[in-house]
Structure 1
Amino acid sequence: MRKQLHEENRLSWNEATKAHNSHKGNQAKFFREGGNTLFPEEKELLGNITGLSVVHLQCNAGQDTLSLARLGAVVTGVDISDEAIAFAQKLSEESEISANFYRADLFDWLEETANKSELFDIVFSSYGAICWISNLSVWAKGIAAILKSGGRLVVVEFHPVAMLFDWDWSHKFPYFSDGKPLTWEDGISDYVAISNQGLALSEYETGIENFRNSYRSHEFQWGIGEIVTALLQAGLTVEVLQEYPYSNGCKLFEQMREAPGRQWFPPEDVPNLPLMYGIVARKR
């Protein structure tokens, strides 16, 4: 499972999460006033989740997890970052939205949950999660093991094609990486500051400035074919594979154009390309 890389990612996420949340203002107030961080794309793929058990894998600081609960689901959030889970638990209490949060390496949690025969109606994964998965096959089989019969995996993610480009739109990174990690010596960035209002819950706050991460991070580039194949081999049936020509919330590259609904499109002189995708896969 390359646990040493996971551990370095945990440390890097701990630092980055502090910076990210410093820009988002009074988040408990945002939720108490009825706020919801989910975009239309994930709401459409999820459908009506009232009363359903949902686990949000790699939930980060819990904003989307609490938004799922706000839609009526019984929600569990899991993340490797101590800082993220501590923040999520506090936000749940202060916003008065009920959710369970666990700090764990994802692979450990999937194995332990399967061993307890705990099952969910929906497994949810979104926005910058799959790039941290070091073994797609184990991930997919772990998800299948905790889904009820008829349960669904719902994924909304940044497209691997978009990950080929550097900030200046130059083609820098490979599409096929054979599972080899891409190591960032400067660690996880303050992408909330880069996206500004696109990822703030209400008014953007300056917060931590000139953030520098002390811990490096390791990502994994998985192609669409590899992801879908892993799900199929785990026994899941892919019902939806949707691609989108924009990114939600996050400004991925320079000179991107922001459209209504916090959608980011390429500059006018860059031909369109898939920047996000959605998957719904069902356990029969």
Structure 2
Amino acid sequence: MPDPVTEQNRRSWNAVVPAHVSHRADEAAFLRQGGSTLFPEEVALLGDVRGCRLLHLLCNTGADSLSLAARGAIVTGVDLSDAAIAHARALSVASGIPATFVQADVYEYLAAAAAANTRFERIYAGYGVICWLRDLTAFANGIAHLLAPGGRFVLMEFHPASNMFNADWQLAYDYPQGGQTLTLPGVGDYVGAADGGLSPSGFLPGVRDFVNPEPCTLYRWGVGEVVTALVQAGLRLHVLREYCYVNGERPFTRMVATPERRMYPPADVPAIPLMYGLAVEKDTSDG
């Protein structure tokens, strides 16, 4: 039987996808003309992906997946949301950039791919992934099984330390840990709230005042728990970086944007880690 929390989260994502898409001007033309939705941080951690079989987990509506494919990777994108995958497939056709998109719960996909002896040289997940994982150990083990010897998993993620603050930069919450659940009214229209930070193809007003009718449940994990799960799965930590800015999103008030779509705290707020990135690798002798 499907996990009931996961099914409810799927409904919440299906509800918000049209609002997110409504703020992005002609993404297909943007990608077709050589545009990319990727940020320099994940590009650097992934390295040269030309010719690599690349799995993009929790790929959302597919623009990052197609940006990776345009860099020469052979891409498979996986996401829970039917609406997100339908959009990703249509975007692939409209942009002329080939990629395979699969609608599935991430744990079911990892298990099925392992059973089929599927292997990837790169696996990537980024920006708002960890909070949807109910089981870090199973996720890490699944990645370890699918990585080819010498392969690399890259994660770009919002720093859990930033979740300790409310929108006005006031310390208000405990540090996330232990997979504690957090139920919210629903996935919000963060693309609209980013005011162009997540719309490199061009920002459109789109849907206004979106209210998600479907609640969702998140899981709260710390950085140490993420790294430990990956290392205990047999993967070697290559790099762990923390950044005192965030790419694209505007989770706090008065954020200062740069032309590169980086969002910094205002001058009166001390620098705190808002984002982190890591790369782990599978030993070349590990089949």
TM-score, normalised via structure 1 length: 0.97
Of stretches 62-71 and 27-36 in structure 1, the one that deviates more from structure 2 is 27-36
Q: CA deviation at 1:15?
A: 1.1
Q: Which amino acid aligns with 1:182?
A: L
1:39 alignment partner in structure 2? 39
2:231 alignment partner in structure 1? 232
2:5 alignment partner in structure 1? 5
Q: CA deviation at 1:109?
A: 0.3
Tell me if structure 2 keeps the 8 A contact 1:37–1:63: yes
1:76 alignment partner in structure 2? 76
1:85 alignment partner in structure 2? 85
Instruction: Specify the SS of the correspondent of 1:183.
Output: strand
- Where does the alignment leave 5 or more consecutive residues of structure 1 unmatched? none
Mapped partners of 2:17, 2:89: distance in 1: 14
**Alignment partner of 1:113 is 2:107:** no
Displacement over 6 Å in runs of 4+: none
Cα gap change, 1:94/1:2 in structure 2, threshold over 3 Å: closer, same or farther? closer
Q: Which amino acid aligns with 2:120?
A: F
Q: Any residues of structure 2 matched to 1:15-164 within 5 Å, and which?
A: 15-164=15-164
Tell me if structure 1 keeps the 8 A contact 2:186–2:216: yes
Q: CA deviation at 1:11?
A: 0.6
Tell me if structure 1 keeps the 8 A contact 2:160–2:176: no
Cα RMSD of the aligned pairs, angstroms, is 1.2
Q: Which amino acid aligns with 1:31?
A: L
Cα gap change, 1:243/1:69 in structure 2, threshold over 3 Å: closer, same or farther? same
**Alignment partner of 1:171 is 2:150:** no
Q: Which amino acid aligns with 2:58?
A: Q
Deviations 1:131-190 (A, max 9, x none): 111110010001101011111101111111111122122223321442221110x20110
Instruction: Specify the SS of the correspondent of 1:197.
Output: coil
TM-score, normalised via structure 2 length: 0.96
Instruction: Specify the SS of the correspondent of 1:45.
Output: helix
Mapped partners of 1:175, 1:30: distance in 2: 39
Mapped partners of 1:90, 1:164: distance in 2: 38
1:262 alignment partner in structure 2? 261
Q: Which amino acid aligns with 2:128?
A: G
Of stretches 136-145 and 170-179 in structure 1, the one that deviates more from structure 2 is 170-179
Tell me if structure 2 keeps the 8 A contact 1:53–1:75: yes
Q: Which amino acid aligns with 1:117?
A: N
Mapped partners of 1:172, 1:182: distance in 2: 15
2:187 alignment partner in structure 1? 188
> How many corresponding residue pairs?
283
Tell me if structure 2 keeps the 8 A contact 1:2–1:134: no
Mapped partners of 2:38, 2:82: distance in 1: 23
Q: Which amino acid aligns with 1:231?
A: L
Mapped partners of 2:2, 2:159: distance in 1: 24
Mapped partners of 2:201, 2:151: distance in 1: 34
- Where does the alignment leave 5 or more consecutive residues of structure 2 unmatched? none
Instruction: Specify the SS of the correspondent of 1:6.
Output: helix
Fraction of identical pairs, as percent: 46
**Alignment partner of 1:221 is 2:220:** yes
Mapped partners of 2:232, 2:177: distance in 1: 20
Mapped partners of 1:230, 1:195: distance in 2: 31
Q: CA deviation at 1:2?
A: 8.6
Mapped partners of 1:242, 1:179: distance in 2: 22
Deviations 1:31-61 (A, max 9, x none): 1111111111111111111000000000000
1:201 alignment partner in structure 2? 200
Instruction: Specify the SS of the correspondent of 1:227.
Output: helix
Tell me if structure 1 keeps the 8 A contact 2:154–2:278: yes
Deviations 1:184-209 (A, max 9, x none): 0x201100111111111322111111
Of stretches 198-207 and 91-100 in structure 1, the one that deviates more from structure 2 is 198-207
